[in-house]
Structure formats: structure tokens, C-alpha cells
């Protein structure tokens, strides 16, 4: 039975690798998909957090170079804003959803029951971990190519930069245009003082409700606002 389960898991990995257009070592891919909640429930096995740390750096470099080369007309401040919008947890969560990553993430029972496979922070962290794993196994060129395939569609949407740079104002503007009351925000916080976690819920009349997460109230509200703006802009 264990062998059958392992073979089923390898077939699932094959599906994900085809989507990503890579041929990554299965053990590294499995590690990249291992959230700390799963690791804790399975005897403290390694998590994807080190790979996430590496992938964050590779992601930032690839996006920075691409923006620098493609936009000689932009100054340093504008380039920095665009980079921030493209490597944000909201943007990476959108990337993860586009490739159907959620079901592949190895989560503990608690996270599974609370919808962890759809949480922006978990989705974004897993994307970064996969990028880190690709860098280790296949090298910088392949990792950079993967980043640009994943993030490229976001770069081609000029509306995104305005919303991503000031999502709360952008949401307020689209709400007014649609004849809705101004957005309202509710905040929940958890965790110890040195490691607070915030979840913001924004409500836009009866048009949209969205949530966002972050290590600060502001970050969570911005993530929620961008999520709501994306929903309304697609109408």
C-alpha cells in the first residue's frame, strides 16, 4: 500500500511538473511542497522554509533584471514599486492559483481544515520554495525562465501596477464607480508580540468580500484590498 501511495504521489508530481514545464528532482519538489504544519505532524521532517528563503532572492533578482531591461524610461522609485507589486504575496498567490498549486501542497490536518491550500501566504511561500528548488537542481537560467513564465502575465497587465501600488485607494475608486459604499475593514490578529499575524477582511457593500494576510495591519489590509479590487475589476 505504501508503494502504491508513493507511486500515486509521483504521478501527481508529474502533472505539476508538466504545468511548470520543468523536470525537477522529485525529492526536492516534495520538500518544496512541504508546509511546516505537515512537517510538525509527521515527526518534524524538513519543511520548505529554507527553499522559500532562497526562492525569494531568485524571484526578486529575476523580476528586477526584467523590469530594468524592459523599462529604461522608468526611474528607480517606479521600478521599485513595480517590483514590489510583482513579488507580493497577493501576486504570487494569484500565480499559484493560475497553475492549480493548492492541491499539491502538503499541509497538516489543521491547515487543511481551515482552507490552507487557498491562503495567500501559504500559496505565495510555496511558489517561492519551488523557485528555490529549481535553482538548486536545474540552475539559475532555468529558475529565471520559470520566474518569467509565472510572473510574465502579471507584467503585461498595466492596470495591475496602479492597483498594486495603492490598492486601498484603487479599491475605493472602483467602489465609487460601481455606486457602492466605501470599503470597510475588519482586522483579526494572532501570535506572540514578536511574531504577530494579521488577517484583514474588506467588505465592499454587497459587491465583494475579500481577505488578506500579513505581518502588519497595513500589509493585511493592502492584500485584502488588492484581492477585492481584482474581483471587481474582472466584472
One domain for residues 124 and 193: no
Looking at the fold, whether 115 and 18 belong to one and the same domain comes out as yes
180 and 95 within one domain? no
Residue 72 pLDDT greater than 60, yes or no? yes
More confident residue, 207 or 6: 207
If you average pLDDT over residues 54-58, what whole number do you get? 96
Q: Are residues 150 and 219 in the same domain?
A: no
Residues 148 and 172 in one domain: no
52 is annotated as contributing to ligand binding? yes
Residues 154-175: tens digit of each pLDDT = 888 766 666 666 788 889 989 9
Closest CA to 127 of 143, 109, 110, 108: 143
Residues in the chain: 235
Domain residues for 57?
1-156
Decide which of 106, 130, 156 is a domain's last residue: 156
Quick one: 31 and 99 in the same domain?
yes
Q: Is pLDDT at 2 greater than 60 in this prediction?
A: no
Residues 29 and 115 in one domain: yes
pLDDT band at 146 (very low <50, low <70, confident <90, very high): very high
Nearest to 203 by CA among 186, 220, 216: 186
Number of domains into which the chain is organized: 2
pLDDT score, position 10: 58
Residues 138 and 179 in one domain: no
Model confidence at 11, in pLDDT bands (50, 70, 90)? Answer: low
196 with 189: CB under 8 angstroms? yes
CA proximity to 184, closest of 170, 199, 201: 201
Query: CATH number of the domain that 107 lies in?
Result: 1.10.1520.10
Residue 3 has pLDDT above 50, yes or no: no
Q: Are residues 183 and 121 in the same domain?
A: no
pLDDT of residue 230: 83
Among 156, 191, 219, the domain-final residue is 156
pLDDT band at 123 (very low <50, low <70, confident <90, very high): very high
Q: Is the distance from CB of 64 to CB of 75 less than 8 angstroms?
A: no
Q: Is 173 annotated as a binding residue?
A: no
Final residue of a structural domain among 103, 123, 156: 156
**Residues designated as active site:** 56, 128
Same domain, 131 and 196: no
Residues 140 and 205 in one domain: no
Whole-angstrom CA distances from 15 to 10, 31, 41, 102, 189 are: 9, 17, 26, 13, 37
Q: Are 18 and 114 in the same domain?
A: yes
| pLDDT band for position 14 (cuts 50, 70, 90) | confident
Q: How high is the pLDDT of residue 193?
A: 77
3-state helix, strand, coil in the chain (%, to 5): 70, 10, 20
**8 pLDDT more than 70:** no
CA dihedral of 33, 39, 40, 45, whole degrees rounded to 10: -160
Provide DSSP, 3-27: HHHHHHHHHHHHHHHHHHT----HH
Amino acid at each position: 500500500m505504501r508503494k502504491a501511495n508513493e507511486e500515486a504521489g509521483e504521478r501527481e508530481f508529474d502533472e505539476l511538473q508538466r504545468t511548470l514545464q520543468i523536470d525537477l528532482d522529485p525529492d526536492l519538489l516534495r520538500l518544496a511542497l512541504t508546509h511546516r504544519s505537515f512537517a510538525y505532524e509527521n515527526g518534524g521532517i524538513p519543511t520548505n522554509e529554507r527553499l522559500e528563503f532562497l526562492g525569494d532572492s531568485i524571484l526578486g533578482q529575476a523580476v528586477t533584471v526584467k523590469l530594468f531591461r524592459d523599462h529604461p524610461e522608468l526611474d528607480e522609485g517606479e521600478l521599485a514599486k513595480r517590483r514590489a507589486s510583482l513579488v507580493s504575496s497577493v501576486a504570487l498567490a494569484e500565480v499559484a492559483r493560475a497553475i492549480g498549486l493548492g492541491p499539491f501542497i502538503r499541509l497538516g490536518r489543521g491547515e487543511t481544515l481551515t482552507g490552507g491550500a487557498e491562503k495567500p501566504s501559504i500559496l505565495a511561500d510555496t511558489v517561492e520554495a519551488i523557485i528555490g528548488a529549481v535553482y538548486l537542481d536545474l540552475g539559475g537560467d532555468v529558475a529565471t525562465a520559470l520566474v518569467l513564465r509565472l510572473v510574465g502575465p502579471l507584467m503585461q497587465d498595466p492596470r495591475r501596477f496602479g492597483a498594486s501600488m495603492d490598492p486601498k485607494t484603487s479599491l475605493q475608486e472602483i467602489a465609487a464607480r460601481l455606486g457602492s459604499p466605501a470599503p470597510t475593514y475588519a482586522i483579526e490578529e494572532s501570535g506572540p508580540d514578536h511574531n504577530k499575524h494579521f488577517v484583514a477582511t474588506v467588505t465592499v457593500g454587497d459587491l465583494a468580500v475579500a481577505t488578506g494576510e500579513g505581518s502588519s495591519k497595513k500589509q493585511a489590509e493592502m492584500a485584502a484590498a488588492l484581492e477585492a479590487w481584482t474581483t471587481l475589476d474582472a466584472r
